[in-house]
Structure 1
């Protein structure tokens, strides 16, 4: 398993204040998510161990995708995000594929993609001129019309999403073979 903690640690070392705090929180929760995949085979990474559709590899894919989309939102605004109100059944089916390992996908590939995404996000956090930059949220049933979100709030959302899914992955891993991230 590829560990990209050094990338985040380097970025955090050059960042100060709030940016360093954001990078440290991201690094912590990314570590716990990746840690759930330690020593797994591709088959195990794609295995469902609960009644949900979730698997460890799929959760890592989903978190990488979400992080990529939100980083693009910070840079380009709502045009970088899907219009969820106009999505078709096929669009939602494709989105559901983020949550599972598809034929031909490997855990190594999923982790490498996540590492690339994390490195790009970390660079954005350190180089973005202003964390207050704000854009209207994309159209979605769960977003209030006209609501905006700053880069800072987007990054906090990404941290929360990563932490939540690291917890899901921990439950799946414990159900798989008894291993835990903590304890």
Structure 2
């Protein structure tokens, strides 16, 4: 699964690993809002690597959890979904809007291979200082470059370079982020 070659996801071992993640997520998603420390402990036991402070608004969904790495000062809003059959690496100071999905897994085009249960997964990398707006889907194998912003509702099917604003379905670069964005806050809202 982690090597990027086709695999069968419905075997006993992977099923049990997903079930383990679901148990932890059920507990995380159903704790009272005041139980922040307890939620953090559950995420620390679920995710593969956490570099520093983080905050995830429940509900959260993932397949395995152990393939997810997050950097310092990470924030994810409500309904963050990570299908982490491959590694998902998230850098420092990343902001994730509500209803964002990071999908590392794909199914074959051929119906016979799909019916046999084959899947393939490819790593997703989100570099430092990225902001992903609400209702964004990031597809398998994508890298989003440092400092970039993905506009709400986008479907990211290809790599996004550093220091750009990208939007749409499929997501495309709208423009570069410039020094003018530091002083013209109204412009940043357009």
| TM-score normalized by the length of structure 2 | 0.25
| TM-score normalized by the length of structure 1 | 0.26
* Higher strand fraction (1 or 2): 2
* Higher helix fraction (1 or 2): 1
